[in-house]
Amino acid sequence: MLTGYYQVLMALVLIAVAVVLSRWQRARLEKDLLVGTVRAFVQLVAIGYALEFIFDLNHPLLILLTIVIMMTVGAYTAAGRVREVPSAFGIALLSISLGTFFTIGLMLLTRIISTDPKYVIPLAGMTIGNCMIATTLGLERIHAEIVGKKEKIEAILALGASSRQASLESCCVSVRAAMTPIVNMMKVIGLVQLPGAMTGMILAGASPVEAVRIQIVVIYMLASAVGIASLSATRLSLRSYFTKFHQLREV
């Protein structure tokens, strides 16, 4: 098997194929593909050396700081996709934090995983990434629901319902939309897709049965975190759309 960065150089052939296809079809994605390729290389190499440093120190505060930085970047990315939602960054950060800290904290307390940074940080990264996606989808959908059903919501409020009651249907739809990716993954995992944790362990030489056991724990962890994050994001965002007097703000 190819070793070292020679593998990376050979893999660039695949990027070249994508660039050629984009140019052939006039999709105008060549620049984005090239910039993304360079950014991915620089970011991954940098995080590789950074994680090696963190793993060697094995200090709890440094581990916590790393996770907080990852959550902040995730929240910033999610907020950038939903600029029309008021206080999107704060909502995203709190939602991602709740999902991540609850699941990772529970797994640490029950000793499902150890406090070793080589376990905590990668699992936290997977959790944050999935929570970020769920938060983005949830905020996008709740905004679309509130805007699209403005007249219906106002009519329900006029009948004396609370903002929570008037927005219940929209919240349910938004949470389902946010959780669709993880639910779909759980339905086809092992049949259509071999997830990253399992694939990584098998490539590292672990037994497929052992890899499956770890992957089951990971997918259950992600489902819980995504559920918390999507529900939190949806509920927290409602404060931006309704006044304390249960009136719908201008959207």
Q: How confident is the prediction along the chain (251 residues), in pLDDT tens digits per residue?
A: 455 667 777 788 889 999 999 889 888 888 999 999 999 989 888 988 999 999 998 899 999 999 999 999 999 999 998 888 888 999 999 999 999 999 999 999 998 888 899 889 999 999 999 999 999 999 999 999 998 888 998 899 888 888 888 888 999 999 999 999 999 988 888 777 777 777 777 777 778 888 888 888 889 999 999 999 999 999 999 888 887 877 887 76
Residues 111 and 156 in one domain: yes
Domain count, the chain: 2
Residues 87 and 11 in one domain: no
Residues 211 and 219: beta-carbon distance below 8 Å: no
Residues 120 and 128: beta-carbon distance below 8 Å: no
Residues 6 and 106 in one domain: no
The predicted structure's pLDDT at residue 3: 56
Residues 12 and 95 in one domain: no
Please give the structure tokens belonging to residue 243. Answer: 């006044």
Residues 74 and 46 in one domain: no
Residues 179 and 226: beta-carbon distance below 8 Å: yes
Residues 44 and 83 in one domain: no
Residues 95 and 144 in one domain: yes
d(CA 191, CA 54): 36
Residues 15 and 77 in one domain: no
Q: Taking the model in full, what pTM does it have? A: 0.86
The predicted structure's pLDDT at residue 26: 85
Residues 4 and 107 in one domain: no
Structural domain boundaries, residue 34: 1-57
d(CA 66, CA 50): 10
Residues 231 and 157: beta-carbon distance below 8 Å: no
d(CA 60, CA 55): 11
Q: How far apart are the first and last CA of the chain?
A: 57
